[in-house]
Amino acid sequence: MFACWDYPKDNLIVVSNSGALRFFNFRGEPIGSSLRVPVPSLCTSTEAGVALLVGLQELRLVLVESGSTEGYEAVSISIPRLLHDNKPCSMLAVPPRFSDSGHTEIFVPFVTTENASTVYHIVFHEKYMCHDLGVYIEGGNFVHMALSPNGRSVAFMVRDGTVYVASRSFDDITRLLNINTDVIPSQFMWCGDRCISYLHRNKQFDAALNFPTTLSLLSVDDPDKSDYLNDIPVDAHLVPECDGVRILSARSYQFLQVVPEPVRRIFSVGSRAKSAMLLSAYDEFMCGNANSVKIIRDLQRDKHGLSEAVDDCIAAAKFELSVSQQKRLMRVAAFGKSFCAMYESDVFVDVIRHLRAVNMLCKSKAGTLLSQAQLSELKEKLVRRLALLNYHQLAYHVCELLGFSAKDVMMEWAMLMLTNSSVSQADEGRLVSRVVDKLKCCKQSAYCEIALKLYRSQRVSAALAVLEAETSVSERISHLLQINQLEEGLRQAIRSGDTGLIFTVIKYLISSESSDALTLLKKFVTSRRMLFVFAKSARVTNSKVMEIFKTYPDECAYLDLLRYLEEVRVSTGKRGEGGQSCEDLLVIKLNIVRSTLLSCPMGTVNIPSKGGLSGNTYSHSLLSGSFRPPSDSEKWLRLHMDLMEEQKNLVKKLKDRRFLDASVTKTITLCHEHGCKDVADRIKNKFGVSDKMNTWCMVKAAVETKQWNLVDEISDIRGKGRSPVSGFAFVRALFANCQRQQAKQYIPKIPQIEWRMEYYVLCGDWKTAGADCRRHSEPELLSQLKDRAKGDTDALRQIEEGWNSVQESGAVRLAKLFG
């Protein structure tokens, strides 16, 4: 009943007389599921689908276009009831690329009176719109409607044979002529953008009249200049193109075009156009006649005359289908271009490439007759069609000439070769090698995509062989994982030595949650070690991952420790919320440590017999970044259990919840704050805390409790003994609590003179700072001091007094003597 083409997807849509819609691809293979609608009375193409007018009692307009999925979807809208009495004879669809709304628009004409018609405008959108355009066309109902190739004009014919042309929105309507016959043409369409064609078949007339099948041509610009073709086949059928009309019949194939202006200017008899003069000059030159020089000079008198003549010759060559005529016109253009100093050659070269492509398509087995305009409109779609018809070599050469990407063509060719069912398993390797060599020769590198398609086609061995040609290791490994070649992917990642790739494979295997995939990680030493690093840094708690490390107790114990620290963090948060008591939280922590010890069997851990551990080792905040080797893990756990027992007792005794989740040094500091020196000393000795660290804990406790005299006692500032802690620690602690005068007495104990200068300045003791510079012979530091005191005369005076109040030390003078 009706057939049209889905141009975006290159599918054929067929509407049967039963209302069934079927869809076929470019190879003629059925695609998707068919649709069924009531038997339509009118059909028209929308470029991306078909619009159908259906219904007997109630008219509905149905639009069938490709949806978001692979198939087609149908939507419908009701036609106003007042129009049901006068059903239309034609309708017109405007595709989204031409419509003002950006959506498919339908124009449906209806008879309003006995001899007049109007047009209804329907827009298919989220909210369907249907309204009367308010036009008044005499002559009866519309019998034909056609949209121009450029989408700007609409041609239509009414019942009495009058032909009109209108703008796309029907704002401007022009009457062209009346065909002066009661026989309505069987076909009505545009031939280019400025010419209308319609076909009368001989069987439409009385046989006695012997009326031939006639194709009429009507110029939009000059309706009086009409033309008729009577020598076309009786069974001719017209197919519109962007620049003409194809005339198809059972035994012939013709293409009708309107001759463009450049061709008329060149070849019209007696033409004095610049391009005709250039052609004459070329002919004279080829005959050796000096008259060609005079013609060229005449053309050069006009500033743009010669370049316009060259443009006309190039445009005329694009129109011609005869190879000899194309060559002649391009030679004339090249001849004229040689006298144009500023003429750009890009257009000239581009046209030559397009002409070569057109001629190659025409002479090939495909036998495709295309014009330049059609080739420009098809673009990459032409290459896709050739590939679908298995003309891969032709498609590749077209890509080379027109500058298109040949990736998809070569991929389809490779798939066609490698999925051939007649190829045996023994010959598959040689075939893959030939295909890969051809891809390399054509500078194509879509090996990963081809391998993925081969795997989906159950050609696993061929997919692996093709994938080996991929030069990018990361791409190759990524696609090995995609085609389920996990062991090979892991092996190649390890072989590459790239830790990022190894981690990528490990994460992929973990996310797959397959026991076989995880077992692969134990097969290679490198992957197992990297898995341990990954599990440590990412806090992996996957039971299947932990199962792998059960045979490696040291690593398992370490991961359990990390789990413990995570539980401590969570329990600390719960403690802040007041959800559990301190005793309960400590019990939870102790249980976790005990379970961690049980995961490390006796005899598998080498516990050192000597050596103490520093107090900072037991701080969970430092553990995650500086944990000892797994060989010390059991000893560490037992010591940590002892610490938690001490903390539990101290929380009960002193009612201070800060002991919970405290490190060894923090616990000692808190004991000093509560005045429990004996408990602090016991913990110090039990856990091997150094005297220096213990002294520092005492200082922090004294500062926290504001016992400033106790700070002096700890430092023994007035005695002859030497404190284990440097003066810098005392200065920093006192400064942090705004005790600057007390801190001044500790500044001389700081070994670095730069830091002493800084703290002297903060205290405002400029004189002592100047004296210290003199004592250590530091004139550069003295200059820096003066720069910082710039503008403060009192500070500058104190610096000079301090510098002059002392002499250089003997050691400094001795160094200068022997320096």
pLDDT digits (tens, 9 = 90+) for 231-284: 889 999 999 999 999 999 999 999 999 999 999 999 999 899 999 999 999 999
**pLDDT more than 70, % of the chain:** 81
- C-alpha separations of 814 from 51, 309, 809, 811 in Å: 108, 99, 9, 5
Name the most confidently modeled range: 10-19, 341-350, 713-722: 10-19
Condensed to tens digits (0 to 9), the pLDDT of residues 431-463 reads: 999 999 999 999 888 899 999 999 998 888 999
Sole residue written with tokens 């050609």: 459
Is the separation of the CB atoms in 651 and 581 below 8 Å?
A: no
Average pLDDT score over residue span 457-481: 90
Which of 25-29, 380-384, 482-486, 770-774 bottoms out in mean pLDDT, i.e. has the lowest? 770-774
The CA-based angle 474-477-483, given to 5 degrees, is 140
First and final C-alpha spacing in the chain:
112
Is the separation of the CB atoms in 549 and 532 below 8 Å?
A: yes
Condensed to tens digits (0 to 9), the pLDDT of residues 99-133 reads: 988 899 999 998 887 788 889 999 988 777 888 88
Average pLDDT score over residue span 574-583: 54
DSSP labels for 371-419? Answer: -HHHHHHHTHHHHHHHHHTT-HHHHHHHHHHHT---HHHHHHHHHHHHT
Of the pLDDT bands very low, low, confident and very high (cuts 50, 70, 90), residue 80 is confident
Between residues 549 and 686, which one has the greater pLDDT?
686
Q: Is the pLDDT of residue 554 over 80?
A: no
pLDDT at 817: 43
Of the pLDDT bands very low, low, confident and very high (cuts 50, 70, 90), residue 613 is very low
Between residues 366 and 778, which one has the greater pLDDT?
366
Of the pLDDT bands very low, low, confident and very high (cuts 50, 70, 90), residue 816 is very low
**pLDDT more than 90, % of the chain:** 39
pLDDT at 621: 32
Sole residue written with tokens 């639009």: 63
pLDDT at 523: 82
pLDDT at 226: 86
pLDDT at 618: 35
Average pLDDT score over residue span 685-690: 83
Q: Is the pLDDT of residue 562 over 70?
A: no
pLDDT at 40: 92
Contacts of 609 (CB under 8 A, 6+ apart): none
Between residues 769 and 63, which one has the greater pLDDT?
63
Condensed to tens digits (0 to 9), the pLDDT of residues 149-173 reads: 999 999 999 999 999 999 999 999 9
Is the separation of the CB atoms in 386 and 398 below 8 Å?
A: yes
Q: Is the pLDDT of residue 715 over 90?
A: no
Of the pLDDT bands very low, low, confident and very high (cuts 50, 70, 90), residue 632 is low
Is the separation of the CB atoms in 145 and 185 below 8 Å?
A: no
Residue-wise burial string across 386-410, b where 16 or more C-beta atoms lie within 10 A, e elsewhere: bbeeebbebbbbbbebbebebebbb
Q: Is the pLDDT of residue 467 over 80?
A: yes
| Domains of the chain (ranges, CATH numbers) | 2-242 (2.120.10.30), 563-682 (no CATH)
Sheet holding 20-24, edge to edge: 2-6, 11-15, 20-24, 35-36
pLDDT at 633: 55
pLDDT at 111: 87
Residue-wise burial string across 30-51, b where 16 or more C-beta atoms lie within 10 A, e elsewhere: eeeeebebbebebbbbbbbbbb
Average pLDDT score over residue span 211-221: 92
- C-alpha separations of 88 from 15, 108, 158, 223, 623 in Å: 19, 7, 11, 27, 86
Condensed to tens digits (0 to 9), the pLDDT of residues 175-210 reads: 999 998 889 999 999 999 999 999 999 888 887 777
Name the most confidently modeled range: 34-48, 611-625, 722-736: 34-48
Average pLDDT score over residue span 614-632: 37
Q: Is the pLDDT of residue 606 over 80?
A: no
Radius of gyration of the chain from Cα atoms?
Answer: 47
Mean pLDDT across the chain, nearest whole number? 82
Of the pLDDT bands very low, low, confident and very high (cuts 50, 70, 90), residue 421 is confident
Of the pLDDT bands very low, low, confident and very high (cuts 50, 70, 90), residue 779 is confident
Q: Is the pLDDT of residue 595 over 60?
A: no
User: Tokens in use for 347?
Assistant: 């257009």
Q: Is the pLDDT of residue 6 over 80?
A: yes
- C-alpha separations of 629 from 100, 603, 633, 687 in Å: 74, 16, 7, 19
pLDDT at 354: 95
Residue 33 is given by DSSP the state -
